[in-house]
Chain A
Amino acid sequence: IAGITQAPTSQILAAGRRMTLRCTQDMRHNAMYWYRQDLGLGLRLIHYSNTAGTTGKGEVPDGYSVSRANTDDFPLTLASAVPSQTSVYFCASLMGSHYGYTFGSGTRLTVV
Chain B
Amino acid sequence: GNSVTQMEGPVTLSEEAFLTINCTYTATGYPSLFWYVQYPGEGLQLLLKATKADDKGSNKGFEATYRKETTSFHLEKGSVQVSDSAVYFCALSDPYNQGGKLIFGQGTELSVKP
Contact = CB atoms under 8 A, between A and B. Distances in A.
A96 B36 CA distance: 16
Contact of B46 (A40, A50, A101): A101
Interface residues of A, number: 24
Contacts of B43: 90, 103-106
Contacts of B24: none
A48 B101 contact: yes
Interface size class of B (residues with CB under 8 A): 20 to 34
Given A48-B101, A106-B43, A97 B95 contact: yes
Interface of B: 32, 34, 36, 42-46, 49, 51, 89, 91, 93-95, 99-102, 104-107
A42 B99 contact: no
A98 B51 contact: yes
B46 A42 contact: no
Interface in A28-54: 31, 33, 40-43, 45, 48, 50
A27 interface: no
Given A41-B106, A48-B101, A103 B51 contact: no
Given A42-B105, A100-B49, A101-B44, 5 more contacts: A42-B89, A100-B36, A100-B93, A106-B42, A106-B43
Contacts of A98: 32, 49, 51, 93, 95
B107 A103 contact: no
B104 to A, nearest CB: 5
